[in-house]
Structure formats: C-alpha cells, structure tokens
Chains A and B, each alone.
Chain A
Amino acid sequence: MLELNNIRAGYGKRQILNGVSLTVPKGKLVTVIGPNGSGKSTFFKSAAGIIPILSGEILIDGTKAADLSRSETAKKIAYLAQGKSVPDMTVFQLVLHGRFPHLSYPRRYTEKDKRLAIAALEKTGLAERAEIPLSSLSGGMRQNAYIAMALAQDTDYILLDEPTTYLDISHQLSLMKNLRELAKEGKGVAAVLHDLPLAFTFSDIIAVLSGGEITACGEPLKICKSGIISEVFGTKLNYSEAESCYYYKY
C-alpha cells in the first residue's frame, strides 16, 4: 500500500499541507475531494515525488520513498498532472513514453514496451488514433491519451489530479469505470475529483481535504451522512437509497 504519513509540504516559504495522512491500499479507488486551494494538487505532487516534502514520511509497499531514486519511484507511482502540455508527437509516441522509467540510457523502447503502449491505447479507446499528432486531438481525447500513458507506465499506484477535466459526462463515466477496473486488477488508484456525486458513486474511500488537512476519511456513504460536505462546501450531498445514487440538494 501507499502510505502518506503526516505530510507537510508547500512552495518556497508557503506551507500548504499541514500534516496530511492518507493510505491508498492496492485494489481500492481513493478519491480526494476539497474546495479550491485546499492543497489537493500539492498533496498528489508530494505523494508522487514531484515536489519535495518538508516533513513526514511516504512509504511505498513498506519502503521509504526517500530511499528510492526518481526513476524507481516512477516505476511504482504513475502521476497524471492537472495541467498538461501538448508536445509535438503522435498519440502512440506519447503513450510509449509511459515506459520511459523502465529503461536506462540509451533508452530504446522494446517490443514489450510497444505492446504495453498498444494495450493502454486499446483500453482507453485510442487505438484507432495512435498515428495522429497529439495536437489534433480534442481536449477530452488528449486527456485520455495522457491516461493511456499512465497505464503504459504499468505501476502499482496511479495518482490522477482532476482526470475528468475536459471530459463530457459519457467520457467521465467511462473513465471512472476504467479506474474501478484498474483497482479491481489490484492497483491502488487515487484521484482528485470535483464532481462529488461521481466521486461518491465510484470510490471505495473518500478523503476530504480542507485547509491543508484531512478533515474526514472513510466510506462514501458514511462521509455523506456525516454532514462534513455541507461544512466544507456549503452544499448538501444526499444519497437516495431508492435509486442508489448521490445528488446535490441546492
């Protein structure tokens, strides 16, 4: 499991996270929710080793992340950033670069790497678009291409920062089903989401991050009934037992 213990992190002198702890077990989908500026992205960046932590400890399957090199961490944790560039390359080339941490200089992708990239493309429905430049994809498809790259990275843990951005509702649902599928395959999946009904419907664990601290963490229904959502977001989230779904009450 991926254990984040008492993490303090920030940018320069500005501390954003004030001792955040969370566990991402293998086989589970954990979703972090919280208002804008609560530190969700900073938390994921710290967990993936993108930014250094000020204090605390990150354990990947019992091994201290601090003892691992950057590429060793990248073999364990795939991280999908919120803002992504549009480099000059084809969809297949982007997805293939998911295999980058698994190779050493001079990095030449093997047939196995290429087959894993093709499998990731098929899983995300992009196999037919493998040859076209990334720049000619729509925002949603580009998002899918980046998700395929994270899949090709073939890690035990996947962290996705707002992966549903740019996706229409049908693609959002398809993505969430894919994330559930990945968790079912034994990967530990964590995502930052803003759509609460979507997050509560598909996740095994919900963590509420507010003001740089985890204010609640647990099963979705328990969190929904706890009243923490109204406290943090000022909006009530309800659960309909008749329809087995979550909805906002304005």
Chain B
Amino acid sequence: MKRLPKYCSGKTARIKTLYLAGAALVLLAAFLGILLGSTPLKFSEIINAAGEGFSSTAAGRIFLYVRLPRTAASLVCGAALAVSGAVIQGVLANRLASPSIIGVNSGAGLAVTLCAALGIYGGWRLSLFSFLGAFGAVMLISLGSRRWGASRGTVILIGVALSSFFNAISNAVVTFIPDIGVMSNDFKVGEFSGVAYQRLIPSAILILITIVVLFTLTNELDVLSLGEEGARSLGMNTSAMRTLFLMLAASLAGCAVSIAGLLSFVGLIVPHAVRRLSGSGSSSLLGLCALYGGAFVCLCDTAARTLFSPYEIPVGIIMAFLGAPFFVFILIKGKGGHGDA
C-alpha cells in the first residue's frame, strides 16, 4: 500500500523546528531566570548547594526559595495565559479576545481580592475561587455576545466594560478593607516577586492538568473554529463543547492570576505570533503557545528584575510596553477577528 504523505502526520518540518526552538528558548529562559538577579548566582554554586543541602548556603537558599519558585511561576503562568488566550480566541472566533482584554483576568482578580478579604491567601481554595471568577467573566461574555448577536468589536468593548466593572469592585473592597494587601499596583500589573510554593503548587498542578486535557481536545477545538454551523454539521454539540473550552480556559487564566496578578497581553501576543509562524491547527498552536508563552513571560520577568537592578519593576509593566503597541498593530492591520475587528 502506498505510504501516506508526510503532511498527514500534522508535524511538518516547520512545526518541528518551531517546537525545538521553543524548547530551547524555555531552557534558556529558565537558565537565565535562575542565574540572573540582584544577587547573580553561578551554576557551580547551585550544584555545590545541591550536594550540601540547599539551606546550608546563601546561594542555595536564594535558589530554592526565591529563584526556583519565581522562574517556575513565570514559566507556568506564561504557558497558562498563552494557551488560555488561544482557546478563548478559537471559541469566540475573535482574535482580539484574550483573558486580559475581555475581563477574564479581572474576574479572577476580583475573586482573589474577595478571597484575601476572607483571609484566604493561598492553597486550593484560592485556585478554585480564581477559576470561578474567571469562568463567571468568560461565560458572561460568551452568553451575552451570542444572545445579543454582538459583533467581534462589540464583544471586545463589552469585555473592556466588564473588566473595568470587576476592577472597580475589587478597588472598592480594598478601599474598605485596606489591610488585605491585594490590588496593589504590583498585583494590578502582574508580578512574581515573593511567589511562595504554597501559592504556586496548587495552581501549577491545576494548570498542568488543564493543559494536558486540552491537548486531548485539539480536534474538537479545530472543529469549533469552523463556526457554529460547520461544527454542528460534523455532529458536535457546540454549546456543551464551547462551555467546556471556556471552563478550561478560565481555569488556566484564573490559576495564573492567583499566582501572578493581572498579567496582561500574554494571551494576545503569543497566540498571534505563533499563528503567524505555524499557520497550522490547534494541536501545534496550543503546544507552541505553552512553550513560547512560558519562555516569553520568564524572559520578561528576568528583564524586569535585572534591567534597573538593584531596583525591580513589575513584569506586567515590561509586558504592557510590548503588548500595547502590538495590540494597536493588530487593530491597524485589520487582522483581528478575521478582519472584522
């Protein structure tokens, strides 16, 4: 029997190269993230500390309690937000949609603020409430836009309004209970300083599980991107599938917000760049978004704490500097929402 052409595997030479480059970039970002900072570490110091016990040397303690959780958090949050953005854009058929723009992050931020007001600062409960906040926001957008037949541009505007509304509630809570310590400037723009394992581990586990589940649903995401009628004609229960995808995307965004605050633009920039490079289906899109999203945020975070060392700026500022012009670029190019931005 004739052999199948190479393109049937879905992994063309271009995609394989992108995966390899992405993996190399993640390693480089992780390496730099661990070694660079206000107190630079040497690789040999970490190896020595591993032999003697990390708590026994200053370098070991910096590695174990500062750099490792911080680097892991930036990689995990970047991957989560980029994949979340790719999923939301696919489900809403709107390339301008991303967790930060349509209010998903703000929904999670509100949940984190309420948690703090209730004395919950970490653990599974924080992750759960963040997810609920993000899910509530994304469902409001999804149901509202379908019910009112909103155009893609209107969906974005509804999202912006919703985002402001959630932020206003969060700010009101902080005004009345100033001691809760969230909705600080750092939280609003997103940052990784002081990330503790207690806050990182539950959310990171949920993020990893969600990404694995999403990888089993890439064909479904592709079919959903054919539009309502196209997906239904292939036997898909579109309402159920859309809700499932939005839940998974909200889980990713919610967990990322519970770790890092309201990081913006990752979910917009990375899926766009990956789409332009790969031009392929959801399977490659999600995988590459996870790699490049993680590497991008990790590199931005390293830049945020080394550019003006010994001063550190929140990583969200660096990302907004890159993301805002990129957003305008997409609008001007008219590519958002298939030319219907």
| Chain A residues with a Cβ under 8 A of chain B | 45, 48-50, 69-75, 78-81, 83-90, 92-94, 97-98, 100-101, 105-109, 111, 114-115, 118, 130-131, 133, 135, 153
Bound CA span A183–B233, Å: 20
Q: Which of B219, B225, B279, B281 contacts A107 (CB 8 A)?
A: B219
Q: Which of B227, B229, B236, B285 contacts A100 (CB 8 A)?
A: B236
Query: Which B residues from 205 to 226 make CB contacts under 8 A with A?
Result: 216-217, 219-220, 222-223, 225-226
Shortest distance in angstroms between A165's beta carbon and chain B's nearest beta carbon? 15
Q: Which of A88, A101, A131 contacts B234 (CB 8 A)?
A: A101
| A114 x B234 contact (CB < 8 A) | no
Give 3 nearest A-B pairs by CB, closest first.
Answer: A74-B235, A71-B235, A101-B235
Interface mask (B88-104 → A, CB under 8 Å = 1, otherwise 0)? 00000100000000000
Q: Which of B4, B93, B222, B229 contacts A114 (CB 8 A)?
A: B4
| B275 x A100 contact (CB < 8 A) | no
- CB contacts (< 8 Å) of B7 on chain A: these are 90, 92, 130-131
Bound CA span A176–B216, Å: 38
Q: Which of A84, A92, A153 contacts B8 (CB 8 A)?
A: A92
| A118 x B4 contact (CB < 8 A) | yes
| A88 x B232 contact (CB < 8 A) | no
Shortest distance in angstroms between B227's beta carbon and chain A's nearest beta carbon? 4
Known: A92-B7, A100-B219, A118-B4. A85 touches B236 (CB 8 A): no
13 A/B residue pairs, CB under 8 Å, sorted by A: A50-B229, A74-B235, A79-B229, A81-B233, A87-B281, A89-B280, A90-B7, A100-B234, A106-B216, A108-B219, A114-B8, A118-B8, A133-B279
Shortest distance in angstroms between A123's beta carbon and chain B's nearest beta carbon? 16
- Smallest CB gap from B274: residue in A: A88
- CB contacts (< 8 Å) of A86 on chain B: these are 338
Shortest distance in angstroms between B88's beta carbon and chain A's nearest beta carbon? 14
| B219 x A74 contact (CB < 8 A) | no
Q: What DSSP secondary structure best describes chain B's contact surface?
A: loop
Bound CA span A86–B222, Å: 11
| B235 x A111 contact (CB < 8 A) | no
- CB contacts (< 8 Å) of A70 on chain B: these are 232, 235-237
Query: Which B residues from 173 to 223 make CB contacts under 8 A with A?
Result: 216-217, 219-220, 222-223
| B227 x A78 contact (CB < 8 A) | no
Shortest distance in angstroms between B200's beta carbon and chain A's nearest beta carbon? 29
| A97 x B223 contact (CB < 8 A) | yes
| B227 x A88 contact (CB < 8 A) | no
Known: A48-B233, A84-B227. A90 touches B279 (CB 8 A): yes
Q: Is B12 in contact with chain A by the CB < 8 A criterion?
A: yes
| Chain B residues with a Cβ under 8 A of chain A | 4-5, 7-8, 10, 12, 93, 216-217, 219-220, 222-223, 225-227, 229-230, 232-237, 275, 279-282, 285, 338
- CB contacts (< 8 Å) of B12 on chain A: these are 131
| A50 x B226 contact (CB < 8 A) | no
- CB contacts (< 8 Å) of A83 on chain B: these are 227, 229
Bound CA span A89–B235, Å: 20
Bound CA span A90–B281, Å: 7
Bound CA span A133–B4, Å: 19
- CB contacts (< 8 Å) of B230 on chain A: these are 81, 84-85
| A50 x B235 contact (CB < 8 A) | no
Bound CA span A171–B281, Å: 27
Shortest distance in angstroms between A48's beta carbon and chain B's nearest beta carbon? 6
| B216 x A105 contact (CB < 8 A) | yes
- CB contacts (< 8 Å) of B220 on chain A: these are 107
Bound CA span A55–B217, Å: 35
Known: A87-B226, A93-B10, A97-B223; 15 extra A-B contacts, CB below 8 A, are A50-B229, A71-B236, A84-B226, A89-B222, A89-B225, A90-B7, A90-B280, A93-B280, A97-B219, A100-B219, A100-B234, A107-B219, A108-B219, A118-B4, A130-B7
Bound CA span A79–B35, Å: 57
Q: Which of A88, A130, A133, A153 counts the most chain B CB atoms within 10 A?
A: A88
Shortest distance in angstroms between A220's beta carbon and chain B's nearest beta carbon? 28
- CB contacts (< 8 Å) of A90 on chain B: these are 7, 279-281
Shortest distance in angstroms between A36's beta carbon and chain B's nearest beta carbon? 19
| A85 x B225 contact (CB < 8 A) | yes
Bound CA span A115–B8, Å: 9
| B219 x A85 contact (CB < 8 A) | no
Known: A85-B338, A86-B338. A97 touches B279 (CB 8 A): no
| B225 x A88 contact (CB < 8 A) | yes
Known: A90-B281, A135-B279. A153 touches B222 (CB 8 A): no
